Amino acid sequence: MKAEGAALVTGAGRGLGRAIALELARRSFTVHAGVRDPRHGEALLAAARGEGLRLHAERLDVTVPDTIAIPANLRVLVNNAGVDKAYLPVEHAPLALWREMFETNLFGLIEVVRRAVPRLREMGGGVVCNITSSSYLAAVPFYAAYRASKAAVGALGESLRAELLPFGIRVLEVMPGPIDTDMLAASDRLPEAAAHAGYEASAEKLLAGRRGVAAMTTSPEVAARAIADAILDDASPLRVACDPLGSGLLEAWRTSSDEVLMRAMLGLKQSQEG
């Protein structure tokens, strides 16, 4: 697609969303960056002014419909807003935690999409880019609520792609691996699952695995460039990655069995009994 018109990026106050907003502005879009914290918006505006970019920072909380405003000349929607909470076994994760994550990661995203699609159709087409997570491609203990919310967005994207192609609207799912953001840094802790009998060893193992992966993170800026490339590429597939580890996991998911992936993620040998 041609880089013109407006791009709306949710969750643009920090991390990957901030980097995507700036990168799309560098690619000649007029970017409307949705932020929840005005302080993040001010910092983002300062960065954009320093580069002479066309960027507007606007309050947007996907769980508060009154804050959702769709630009008149929208061509690109990037659904990046998301939350990650306590890492608990399913039996100990309260429904309130599930609802909080789904409210932002799925239902808030749906509300933005519902409002954006008519505008994209009026503009003759465009791109809806959903940022999910490569973590839902293989078994990760204690991430059930987060992974389920992201997998739901993946299924939504499949239907959306089929529905919107006739209108020239391309749906794209980006599945990042570990990106060097404050969200990733906040996960560098013993999972809350360790407080529950029988789960201590698995929690320790998960923390060790996360710390090993942390040494192989990708910067938000590098990931954002890959995401912008995919947005502009009319031939991009539905699902793409934006970093080496995410790419490897996506390729393994496409070519390996569920059992092989699960054992690999859990560090089990193929001959072990599950």
Whether 209 is in a domain gets the answer: no
Q: What is the pLDDT of residue 131?
A: 99
Number of domains in the chain: 1
Distances (CA, A) of 148 to 89, 102, 155, 159: 13, 9, 10, 17
Provide the residue range defining the domain that includes 117: 6-185+219-266
Q: Is residue 206 part of a domain?
A: no
Residue 187: pLDDT band (50, 70, 90) is: confident
Q: Give Cα 106 distance to the centre of its chain.
A: 11
For residue 174, pLDDT beyond 60: yes
146 is catalytic: yes
Strands 239-240, 74-79: pairing is unpaired
CA distances from 137 to 69, 174, 265 (A): 32, 12, 10
Please tell me the predicted confidence (pLDDT) of residue 213.
80
Residue 110 lies in a domain: yes
Contact 7, 32 (CB under 8 A): yes
**Residue 211 forms part of a structural domain:** no
State the pLDDT at residue 268. 58
User: Which tens digit of pLDDT belongs to each residue from 214-253?
Assistant: 778 999 999 999 999 999 999 999 999 999 999 999 999 9
Please write the tens of the pLDDT for every residue from 108-145.
Answer: 999 999 999 999 999 999 999 999 999 999 888 999 99
Q: Which of 87, 136, 146, 199 is catalytic?
A: 146
- Examine residue 208 and state whether it is found in any structural domain, yes or no: no
pLDDT at 272 over 50: no
Residue 111 maps to which CATH number? 3.40.50.720
Q: In the predicted model, what is the mean pLDDT of residues 186-204?
A: 91
Strand partners for 33: 9, 57
- 229 phi and psi, to 5 degrees? -60, -45
**pTM (predicted TM-score):** 0.93
pLDDT over 90 (residue 267): no
The pLDDT assigned to 3 comes to 94
Out of 30-44, 106-120, 130-144, 145-159, least confident range = 130-144
Examine residue 32 and state whether it is found in any structural domain, yes or no. yes
Is residue 162, in this structure, part of any structural domain at all? yes
Decide if 212 is inside a domain: no
